[in-house]
Amino acid sequence: MIYFVIAVHVVVCLFLIGVVLLQQGKSADLAGAFGGQGSQTAFGPRGAANLLTKLTTWCAVIFMITSITLTVMMQKHSSTHSVLEGTKTTTSAPAKK
């Protein structure tokens, strides 16, 4: 089961990278190069969310869910619960004058 979640996690990660790189920036038009917003709307020229932004949102949600799932599964799979559980503790004596 862990290997399946890792495979889904890696595929979603690569897909998320591709989708983010394909998106057009908010001020990607010619007016954005000179500081203008490109239209006279209050919040800029961005309209309704298109397919790429919806895919980005869903990929991010799946990425976070698989990350949390992998963390929980690996915590249950490991026998120790602390990183420092098996280390030796040493005590130091104060310096002599």
Which mean pLDDT values do the consecutive 10-residue runs of the chain (97 residues) have?
A: 93 93 68 56 57 90 95 81 74 81
> Tokens standing for 73?
């599964």
**Residue 66: what pLDDT?**
96
Phi-psi region of 82 (alpha: psi -120 to 50; beta: other; left: phi over 0): beta
Phi, psi dihedrals of residue 10, rounded to the nearest 5°: -70, -40
Domain boundaries, the chain: 1-24+50-75
pLDDT the model gives residue 84: 72
**Tens of pLDDT along 68-84?**
999 999 888 776 667 67
Token digits of residue 3: 């290997």
Residue 57, classed as helix, strand or coil, is: helix
pLDDT of the residue at 74: 87
Q: What rounded mean pLDDT belongs to the chain?
A: 79
Q: CA–CA separation, 21 vs 14, rounded Å?
A: 11
Tokens of 81: 């619960």
